[in-house]
Structure formats: C-alpha cells, structure tokens
Amino acid sequence: MVKHLIQDLARALHPRLAENFDIPDTDNQDADLFEKVVEAWQTHRWLKVSYRPLNKTTAHEWVIAPLWFEPAIWSDSNYVICHVQMGNTLKWMTLKLDRIEKVFITGDKFEAQPIDSILNTLQKTWGIWVGEGAPVRVVLHFDLRVLDRLRETRWHPTQKLTNLDNGKIQWEALISEPREMLSWIRGWGADVEVIEPNFLRDEIGAESERMARMYGRMNTQRKGFI
C-alpha cells in the first residue's frame, strides 16, 4: 500500500521520478506513518514528528512542514525536505523517512513553497542533504588520469575545476554537509586527496591508515618478490 502511495506521489512531482524510488517493504505501522506525512504535504498542514537521527539513542520531537520528497540516487533511502520550527525561526532540514517514529497531523496550515525556491535551496547541498549551518568550502585534488571521468558529470551546481601546476586537477564547491560526500570520495580511492576542510581530510586520512594496517602496507621495508 505505501509503495503505491509513494510512487503516486513521485509521479505527481515528476512522471519519471517514480522510477528512481527504491521503496522498501513496510509493515502497517510504517505505512500509516508514510500516509500521514504525504497527507500533510498534500494539505499543507504542520506535522509533529518523533525523529531519531543516525547513531542517536533518543528521538527529537519536532514540528515540521513537509515541502518536498527526494530519493537519494546513490542509496536506497527516501527523504522529506522540510521546514522545522526552531523557536521563532524556520530551518531547512532533510529527514530520512524511515527514521520518523511517530507522526501527528496538526490543525495548523503552512504556506506552500514554490518549487523554484526549494530547488534553489537544494543547489547548495550534496545530494539532498540540507545542513543547519553555512555551506563549507570543499577542495579536492584529483589525479590527471581520472580527468575524463571527473568532467563527464557535473557533481554539484557550485563546483569549479582548475588545472594545477603539479598536474593535478582541483575540484572545489560549497557543500552544506561535507560528511555526506565520504562514500563518493572513497570511491575515487588514491586518485583523490582531500585538501579542505581539515576535519574531512583527517577523517579520510585516518581511514586510509586503518586500511594500510589491515593490508600490511604500513611497513615500508616490505620484501619484494624474488
């Protein structure tokens, strides 16, 4: 039931969007949650939700306005783009649908956002994640041998490519939540070096050291084949 519901929603947003949704099997409780979120989006009503972020033991209690739905094309997750009431201000946030534990539709209505406004906000995100802070400058140095692969896709609306004197290619962009880039960066292996921000460089560096130890590559005096 919920599969058809979200597929119908996707078709309403865009005829081909439904093909991109990888919708997991759900039980009756999950279906009821999804239906309420979609109903609130259709009727422009605020939702009270209980949301448990990744790796957190307690859930947040938020009042949200569901504005848009998006699949993550690199994973099997689906998200709701929303306004969240934070005191007297509204903040853009992206909530993973299967982390919503409880839903209550209020009687209060919110003002629907023009799709152009929503898309303009999403332009400064990596994928569809909207962070709470200002966008961060991310700088990556790629090996020249992956230049064609790097150029064949526009990975982010704010990206800029620069040829460096050392033969590397500098890729930079403004990203709201750089940690969501980790799996993409890992996919380039040793053909990419994280330059900025420092916390992202440190995280990738630490992972590389763990992998080197795992495969016995930390000893530079390894014997060669005879």
CA distance 175 to 180: 9
Say what the pTM is: 0.62
Q: Between these two residues, 114 and 206, which has the higher pLDDT value?
A: 206
What are the angstrom distances between the C-alpha of 20 and each of 6, 26, 72, 193, 201? 11, 18, 9, 31, 32
Confidence band, pLDDT 50/70/90 cuts, at residue 224: very low
Please write the tens of the pLDDT for every residue from 48-63. 999 987 667 889 999 9
| Residue spans of alpha helices (H) in 88-225 | 115-122, 147-151, 182-186, 198-214
Q: What percent of the chain has pLDDT over 70?
A: 77
Write out the two tokens for 37.
Answer: 């979120």
Please write the tens of the pLDDT for every residue from 149-187. 999 888 887 899 999 999 999 999 998 778 888 889 999
Mean pLDDT (whole number) for 36-58: 89
| Residue spans of alpha helices (H) in the chain | 2-13, 28-43, 115-122, 147-151, 182-186, 198-214
Q: Choose among 205, 194, 201: nearest CA to 171.
A: 194
What are the angstrom distances between the C-alpha of 13 and each of 24, 75, 151, 174? 20, 20, 29, 27
Mean pLDDT (whole number) for 34-53: 92
CA distance 47 to 37: 8
Q: What is the pLDDT of residue 221?
A: 52
DSSP string, 36-77: HHHHHHHHTEEEEEEE--TT-SS-EEEEEEEEEEEE-TTSS-
Please write the tens of the pLDDT for every residue from 52-105. 876 678 899 999 999 988 776 555 677 888 999 988 888 888 888 888 999 999
- Give me the chain's average pLDDT, please: 81
